[in-house]
Structure 1
Amino acid sequence: MASSAQTPTPRTAQADTFWTRLSPTTRHAGCLGILLVVALAFYAPAVFEGKTIQGTDTVTFRANAQVTVEHHQKTGEWARWAPNVFGGMPYVNEKISVLQLDDVVNLVRGAAWPVSLLFVLMAGVYLLVFYLTRNHFSGLVSGLAFGFTTYIPIIIGVGHGTKFVALAYAPYVVLAFAYTLRNSSLLGGLLFAGALALQLRANHPQIVFYTGMLLLLWWIVEAIGAWREDRVPELATSTGWLALGTVLSLAMAAEPYLARYQYKQYSVRGGAAAVNGGGAGGGGMGWTAAMRWSHGPGELFTFIVADAFGGGGQTYWGPKTFTEGPHYLGGVIMALAGLAVWRVRTWLAWGLGLGVLGTALFALGKYAAWLNWPMFQYVPFFDAFRGPEMWLSITALALVLLAGIGLDYALRRKEQQGRRTQSTDPRQRPLLIAFGAVFGIVALMWLAPNTVLDFEKPNEQQRIRQALLRENPNVSPKNPRVQQAVRQQMQKQKQQRRGAFTTDAQRTMLFLVLAAGVLVLYRRKTLPAWGAGLAVLAIVGVDLWGVDTRYMGDERYSAQDVEQSIPTYSFDQFIKERQKKAGGLGRFRVLSLAEGDPTSKARPSYHYENVGGYHGAKLQRYQDYLDHILQVTGSGPPNENALDLLNTRYVAARQQLPGTEVAYRSQESGVLVLENTDAVPRGFLVGTTEVVEDPTQMWSRLRSASFEPRQTALLSAPLDQPVTPIDSGSTAEATMEHYEPEEIRWTVNTDAPRFFVASEVYYPAGWNAYLDGEPIPIHRTDYLLRGVHVPAGEHTLEMRFEPKADRYGTWIAWTSTILVYGAVLMLAGIRVRRQRGAGPEDEEAA
Structure 2
Amino acid sequence: MKQNWLKAILPHLAAIGLFLLLAFVYCSPVLEGKVVNQGDMKNVQGMAKEAKDYYEATGDRPLWTNSMFSGMPSYVIYTGPGTNKIAYFNNNVASLYTPAPVNLLFLAMLCMYILLCVLEFKYWIRILGAIAFAFCSYNVIIIDVGHITKMYDIALMPAVMAGIILTYRGRLLQGMALTALATAMLIYNNHLQIIYYTLIMVLCLAVGAAIHAYRTQTLPQFFKASGLLAIAGVLAVLTSMDSLLILREYTDYTMRGSHSELTLDKEDVAQKKSTGLDIDYAFDWSYGKAETGTFLIPGYVGNSSGQRLSTNSNFAQQMVSLGVPEAQVEQYLAQQKLPLYYGAQARGTSGPVYIGAIICFLFVLSLLLVRSWLKWWLLAVSAIGFILAWGKNMSFINDFLFYHLPLYNKFRAPAQALVVPSFAFVVLACYALQEVANGQHTKDELLKALKKSLYITGGILVGFVVIANMIGFSGASDAGMVQYLGQMLGGEENGRLLVRALEKDRSSLLLKDSFRSVIFILIAAAAIWAFIQDKLKWTGAILVLTAAVTIDLFMVDKNYLNNESFVDDMTYMQELQPTAADQQIKQDPDPYYRVLNLTTAPFDDASPSYFHKNIGGYSPAKLWLYQDLITHQISKNNMKVMNMLNTKYFIVPDQKGQPVAQRNPDAYGNAWFVKDIIWAPDANTEMKTLDYLNTRDTAVIDKRFQAQVGNFKPGADSSAYIKLTKYGLNKLEYASHNSQEGLGVFSEIYYPAGWEATIDGKPADIIRTDYALRAIKIPAGDHKIEMKFEPKTYFKGLKIAGISSTLLILLVAGILIYEAIRVSRRDSVFKTK
| TM-score class, shorter | 0.7 to 0.9
> 16, 20, 44: which one pairs with 2:28?
44
Q: Residue by residue, what CA displacement relative to the aligned partner does 1:634-675 show, whole Å, maximum 9, x if unpaired?
A: 5xxx10111111011111224xxxxxxxxxxx6864544222
CA contact (8 A) 1:713 1:757 kept: no
Residues 493-527 of structure 1 show CA distances to partners (whole Å, capped at 9, x for unaligned) of 23211111111111111111112212222223333
Distance in structure 2 (CA, Å) of the matches to 1:190 and 1:111: 24
Report what 2:296 is aligned to. 304
Q: Equivalences for 1:122-521 in 2 at 5 Å?
A: 122-183=109-170, 185=172, 188-272=175-259, 276=268, 283-313=275-305, 314-321=339-346, 322-415=348-441, 424=443, 426-443=445-462, 451-458=469-476, 460=478, 462-463=479-480, 488-521=497-530
Partner of 1:12: none
The answer to whether the 8 A contact 2:489-2:495 is kept is no
Pairing of 1:25-40 with structure 2 (within 5 A): 25-40=9-24
Q: CA deviation at 1:302?
A: 0.6
Q: Distance in 2 between matches of 1:430 and 1:775?
A: 77
Partner of 1:85: 68
- Aligned partner (choices 60, 72, 80) of residue 43 of structure 2: 60
- Write out aligned runs for 1:546-625 (5 A): 546-560=555-569, 562-578=572-588, 581-582=589-590, 584=591, 586=592, 588-595=593-600, 597-625=601-629
Change (3 A) 1:44 1:365: same
In 2, distance between residues paired with 1:131 and 1:111?
25
Partner of 2:8: 24
**SS of residue in 2 equivalent to 1:113:** coil
Q: For residues 821 and 562 of structure 2, what CA distance do their matches in structure 1 show?
A: 51
**Cα deviations across residues 124-171 of structure 1 (Å, max 9, x unaligned)?**
001101211332212111110111100111001111111111112212
- In structure 2, distance between residues paired with 1:495 and 1:667: 39
Tell me, in whole angstroms, the C-alpha distance in 2 between the residues paired with 1:507 and 1:27.
Answer: 33
Q: Distance in 1 between matches of 2:769 and 2:131?
A: 56
- What is the TM-score of this pair, normalised by structure 2? 0.88
Superposed CA offset, 1:718-774 (max 9, x none): 134565543545x52322111011111112233232222211111111211122233
For residue 449 of structure 1, report the CA deviation from its aligned partner: 6.9
Deviation at 1:394, TM superposition (A): 2.0
**Which whole-Å CA distance do the structure 1 matches of 2:696 and 2:19 have between them?**
63
User: Which residue of structure 2 aligns with residue 76 of structure 1?
Assistant: 59
Equivalent residues in 2 for 1:711-790 (5 A)? Answer: 711-712=698-699, 714-716=701-703, 717-718=705-706, 719-721=708-710, 723=712, 725-726=714-715, 728=717, 731-790=719-778
The one-letter code sitting in structure 2 at the alignment partner of 1:649 is: K
- AA matched with 2:275: G
Displacement of 1:359 in angstroms is 0.6
Whole-Å Cα distance in 2 between the matches of residues 432 and 472 of structure 1?
A: 53
Structure 1 CA distance, aligned partners of 2:429 and 2:699? 68
Change (3 A) 1:279 1:380: farther
What corresponds to 1:106 in structure 2? 91
Greater alpha carbon shift after TM alignment, 275-284 vs 120-129? 275-284
Contact 1:686 1:726 in 2 (8 A): yes
Please tell me the residue identity of whatever aligns with 1:175: A
Question: Is residue 273–residue 284 contact of structure 1 (8 Å, CA) maintained in 2?
Answer: no
* Among candidates 518, 539, 551, match of residue 542 of structure 1: 551
Structure 1 position 433, deviation (Å): 2.5
Q: Distance in 1 between matches of 2:434 and 2:647?
A: 64
**How do residues 803-818 of structure 1 correspond to structure 2 at under 5 angstroms?**
803-818=791-806
| Contact 1:274–1:283 (Cα < 8 Å) also in 2 | no
Distance in 2 (alpha carbons) for counterparts of 1:605 and 1:330: 40
Unpaired runs of 5+ in structure 1? 1-19, 417-423, 476-481, 655-665, 841-846
Report the equivalent of 2:308.
none
Question: Which residue of structure 2 lines up, in the alignment, with residue 3 of structure 1?
Answer: none
Residue aligned with 2:169, SS: helix
Residue 682 of structure 1 aligns with which residue? 670
Amino acid at match of 1:70: D
Alignment of 1:7-18 (within 5 A): none
Higher relative contact order (CA 8 A, sep 6+): 2
CA distance in 1, matches of 2:208, 2:39: 41
> Structure 2 CA distance, aligned partners of 1:502 and 1:148?
23
Looking at structure 2, the residues matched to 439 and 273 of structure 1 have their Cα atoms a distance apart, in angstroms, of 51
| Aligned partners of 2:482 and 2:496 also within 8 Å | no
Q: Is the 8 A contact 1:302 1:326 kept in 2?
A: yes
Q: Distance in 1 between matches of 2:399 and 2:533?
A: 51
Q: CA offset at residue 49 of structure 1?
A: 1.2
Could you tell me how far apart the structure 2 residues matched to 1:178 and 1:281 are?
39
Count of aligned pairs:
778
Measure how far apart 1:568 and its partner are. Answer: 2.0
State the alpha-carbon separation in 2 of the partners of residues 774 and 551 from structure 1: 59
Is the CA contact 2:8–2:826 (under 8 Å) kept in the aligned structure 1?
no
Secondary structure class of the residue paired with 2:727: strand
Q: CA separation in 1, counterparts of 2:365 and 2:5?
A: 30
3-state SS of 1:323 partner: coil
Give distance in 1, aligned partners of 2:658 and 2:536: 70
Does residue 650 (structure 1) correspond to residue 655 (structure 2)? The answer is no
Amino acid at match of 1:265: D
Task: Confirm or deny: 8 A CA contact 1:277 1:285 kept in the other structure.
Answer: no
Q: Does the CA-based 8 Å contact 1:686-1:755 persist in structure 2?
A: yes
Report the CA distance between 1:783 and its aligned residue. 1.0
Deviation, 1:38, is 0.6
Q: Aligned residue for 1:10? A: none
- Distance in 1 separating the partners of 2:731 and 2:798: 20
Native 8 Å contact 2:141 2:351 kept in 1: yes
